[in-house]
Amino acid sequence: MDLISIFDLSHAELKAILEKAAELKKKRREGVKTSTDLEGKTLALIFEKPSTRTRVSFEVAMRELGGKVLSLNWNELQLGRGERVQETAKVLSSYVDAVMIRAYRHATVEEFAHYASIPVINGLTDFEHPCQTLADLMTIQEYKRQLAGVNVAWFGDGNNVCNSLIGGAALTRMNMRVACPKGYEPDEGIVERAKNMGCEVLITANAEEAAIDTDVLYTDVWVSMGDEAEREQRMTDLQIYQLNEDLVKRAKKDAILMHCMPVHIGEEMTEVVMNSVNSVIFEQAENRLHAQKALLLHLLFSTKNPLL
């Protein structure tokens, strides 16, 4: 099994991953030693783009579960000199037990998964960031004590993180509002799929409309990795979607403020909002570790080594 899109998980699998993640977090906080269920397993991490949280949380997750990690930059591999994805996928399948890839194009990760015979995890593409959504759902569950019926409002660019979050909302029966200018909407196919699953998704150009009485306010950078050439235009187009005190005032008093990080302070989120009591961004980042541990156990623990 792979995790390329958040929709690859059923409602039951997602629920089980979130429960396991919560259990692992509790144990780690209590200082209880994590099980070494992944002893003998190796995860390769391939990065075509930079990363702090994804790289470190996957590496620590694997180590704490008793496994090993190889962290590889695209250009250190023959991929950087034109070796095809498909041959790389076949070769790595004979060396390691799973691969996580962060790539520019979603199609690259899909192609890798198609040719690999081991689990492949999407560590962010231009289209989705499902590992982020696992941590986001875990965080919302912690603060709101439930997921079904929670109102989540997204501000700014309807990007990869937003697409996966909409999928996560559909799987957990949360309601989504996305406030963005024309041309920055989340993927139409994902929105349709979520709606067909019974999820309420409102797309509006009006940031205040999205913020009113919401339980969660979420934003992400205005210039994602790969969008740098559009920086100036994006700064202008997205300005009115900034998460600032005025916007936060319209939400519920106990609404949480989320950001997948890295934050571009003063652009999509003000420093005051980032450091306010309702901001949960560091908890959210920590939850990447616990959620990915649960994901790795889900994908790898049941895969028995045929030689044993």
Report, as residue numbers or ranges, the catalytic residues.
Answer: 102, 129, 132, 220, 260, 288
Q: Residue 51, interface with ligand CP (CB under 6 A)?
A: yes
| 110 vs 220, beta carbon nearer ligand CP | 220
Report cis status (omega within 30 of 0) of the bond before 262. yes
Partner interacting with residue 160 (select from ligand CP, ligand NVA, none; CB below 5-8 Å by kind) = ligand NVA
How far apart CA 198 and CA 170 sit, in angstroms, is 7
| 203 vs 291, beta carbon nearer ligand CP | 291
Q: Residue 54, interface with ligand CP (CB under 6 A)?
A: yes
| 67 vs 158, beta carbon nearer ligand NVA | 158
Partner interacting with residue 159 (select from ligand CP, ligand NVA, none; CB below 5-8 Å by kind) = ligand NVA
Taking the CA atoms of 192, 194, 200 and 205 in sequence, report the sign of the dihedral they define. Answer: negative
Pick from 238, 67, 89: nearest CA to 159:
238
Partner interacting with residue 221 (select from ligand NVA, ligand CP, none; CB below 5-8 Å by kind) = ligand NVA
How far apart CA 42 and CA 197 sit, in angstroms, is 36
Of the candidate spans 67-75, 112-120, 135-143, 159-167, the one that interacts with ligand NVA by CB under 6 A turns out to be 159-167
Q: Residue 22, interface with ligand CP (CB under 6 A)?
A: no
Q: How far is the CB of 267 from ligand NVA (least distance, A)?
A: 12
How far apart CA 57 and CA 65 sit, in angstroms, is 12
How far apart CA 306 and CA 198 sit, in angstroms, is 41
CA distances from 42 to 37, 38, 94, 267 (A): 12, 8, 11, 39
In the region spanning residues 209 to 238, those forming contacts with ligand NVA, defined by CB under 6 A, are 220-221, 224-225
Q: Residue 52, interface with ligand CP (CB under 6 A)?
A: yes
The tally of CA atoms less than 13 A away on the side-chain side of residue 111 is 13
| 75 vs 86, beta carbon nearer ligand CP | 75
* Residues found near ligand NVA in the complex (CB under 6 A): 124, 159-161, 220-221, 224-225, 260
